[in-house]
């Protein structure tokens, strides 16, 4: 997807159209009937690009590159930051399923296994702490990457709930 993103970004820069053939990426209204798939949507509705990526949008790299007006070097570094977050969140999901299994095991026997339940709860806490550290680390890296104007726009996106962490 990164190669696709770079070609999209270059086309956006050269055309000066906002990257979407004359329609705003954020409006949700387009000549594409409100779709924002750029050929890789897999049939999912992508109006406005919102959904469930690491930053609460379905295409966070594309969305942030557009909204923050990132240059090519910034886009490449943002891709690395988002990839790291994606990996941590995937591991968090594995840990969540593992803790659910542990909770189920704790209640499945003839007596409640408090030690197993505590172990599963501790796994959830450790996972939450790891994700906290990954998100704050990513935000720190992102802060260092952006200029003042881009930071202000990022803060606005976070404050208004357009971008969720």
Which region among 15-19, 76-80, 147-151 has the lowest average model confidence (pLDDT)? Answer: 15-19
Residue 87 lies in a domain: yes
- pLDDT over 60 at 50, yes or no: no
Residue 31 lies in a domain: yes
Residue 164 lies in a domain: no
Give the number of domains in the chain. 1
- pLDDT over 90 at 5, yes or no: no
What was the pLDDT predicted at 32? 40
Tell me which residue has tokens 């803060």: 155
- pLDDT over 60 at 36, yes or no: no
Q: What is the pLDDT of residues 118-133, one digit of tens each?
A: 999 999 999 999 999 9
- Give 113 or 18, the one with higher predicted confidence: 113
Q: How many CB atoms lie within 10 A of CB 19?
A: 21
What was the pLDDT predicted at 6? 64
Domain that holds residue 122: 2-159
Question: What letter does residue 48 receive in the DSSP assignment?
Answer: G
Q: How many CB atoms lie within 10 A of CB 163?
A: 20
Q: Which residues contact 60 (CB under 8 A, 6 or more apart)?
A: 53, 54, 82
What was the pLDDT predicted at 163? 83
- pLDDT over 70 at 96, yes or no: yes
What was the pLDDT predicted at 103? 97
Q: What is the pLDDT of residues 102-119, one digit of tens each?
A: 999 999 999 999 999 999
Q: Which residues contact 163 (CB under 8 A, 6 or more apart)?
A: 55, 56, 57, 63, 64, 154, 157
35-61: average pLDDT: 47
Categorize the per-residue pLDDT at 164 as very low, low, confident or very high, splitting at 50, 70 and 90.
confident
The DSSP secondary structure of 90-127, one letter per residue, reads: HHHHHHHHHHHHHHHHHHHSSS--HHHHHHHHHHHHHH
Distance in angstroms (rounded) separating the CA atoms of residues 115 and 49? 44
Categorize the per-residue pLDDT at 8 as very low, low, confident or very high, splitting at 50, 70 and 90.
low
Closest CA to 100 of 129, 72, 120, 118: 120
- pLDDT over 60 at 92, yes or no: yes
Six-digit token string for 126: 């450790």
Q: What is the pLDDT of residues 37-47, one digit of tens each?
A: 444 434 333 33
Residue 71 lies in a domain: yes
């Amino acid at each position: 997807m990164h190669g696709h993103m770079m070609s999209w970004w270059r086309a956006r820069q050269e055309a000066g159209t906002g990257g979407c053939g004359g329609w705003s990426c954020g409006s949700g209204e387009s000549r594409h009937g409100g779709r924002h798939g750029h050929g890789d949507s897999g049939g999912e509705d992508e109006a406005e690009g919102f959904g469930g990526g690491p930053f609460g949008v379905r295409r966070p790299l594309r969305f942030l590159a557009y909204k923050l007006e990132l240059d090519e070097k910034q886009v490449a570094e943002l891709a690395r930051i988002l990839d790291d977050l994606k990996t941590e969140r995937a591991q968090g999901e594995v840990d969540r399923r593992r803790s659910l299994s542990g909770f189920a095991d704790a209640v499945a026997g003839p007596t409640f296994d408090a030690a197993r339940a505590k172990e599963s709860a501790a796994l959830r806490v450790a996972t939450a702490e790891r994700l906290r550290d990954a998100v704050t680390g990513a935000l720190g890296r992102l802060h260092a990457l952006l200029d003042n104007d881009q930071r202000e726009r990022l803060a606005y996106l976070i404050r208004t709930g357009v971008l969720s962490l």
